[in-house]
């Protein structure tokens, strides 16, 4: 079946370094992608999204890159801080099929060492 998955289940970085979290998706019809951050004991929180007509989108300290050719998505966090420690999920959606049914990956645990 189709799924959204992550290359790395865990990532440990030093405070101040840049972090890159990767995600592979399999549904070629997916045209909308979201990154969520989930801190321990909390629900996922929206970070940034990107549509398939874009290759890159920047937010505050975060950048999402989309490579449709290889169906790969990445989240870059600049100057990683201890507060960035969390599980990060990518999710994809085929808006032509459903405009609400997101498919989530398993998540990457990011640990920021002070």
Residues forming contacts to another protein in the complex (CB under 8 A) are: 4, 32, 41-46, 49, 89, 91, 93, 95, 98-107
Comparing C-alpha atoms, which of 77, 76, 79 is closest to residue 65? 76
Q: Is the CB of 47 or the CB of 77 nearer to another protein?
A: 47
Q: Is the CB of 18 or the CB of 45 nearer to another protein?
A: 45
CB of 15 to another protein, least distance (A): 26
CB of 94 to another protein, least distance (A): 11
CB of 93 to another protein, least distance (A): 7
Do residues 10 and 108 lie in contact, with contact meaning Cβ atoms separated by under 8 Å?
yes
Enclosing H/E stretch for 48? strand 45-51
Q: What is the DSSP string of 20-38?
A: EEEEEE--TT--EEEEEEE
Q: Is the CB of 93 or the CB of 112 nearer to another protein?
A: 93
Q: Is the CB of 36 or the CB of 80 nearer to another protein?
A: 36
Instruction: Measure the CA dihedral 104/107/72/80, to 10°.
Output: 130
Rounded Cα gap, residues 36 and 32, in angstroms: 13
CB of 61 to another protein, least distance (A): 19
């Amino acid at each position: 079946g189709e799924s959204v998955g992550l290359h790395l289940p865990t990532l440990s970085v030093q405070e101040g370094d840049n972090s890159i979290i990767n995600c592979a998706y399999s549904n070629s019809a997916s045209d909308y992608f979201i990154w969520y951050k989930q801190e321990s004991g909390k629900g996922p929180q929206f970070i940034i999204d990107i549509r398939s007509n874009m290759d890159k989108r920047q937010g505050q300290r975060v950048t999402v890159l989309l490579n449709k050719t290889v169906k790969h998505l990445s989240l870059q966090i600049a100057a990683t801080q201890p507060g960035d420690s969390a599980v990060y999920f990518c999710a994809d959606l085929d808006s032509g099929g459903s405009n609400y049914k997101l498919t989530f990956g398993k998540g990457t645990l990011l640990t920021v060492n002070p």
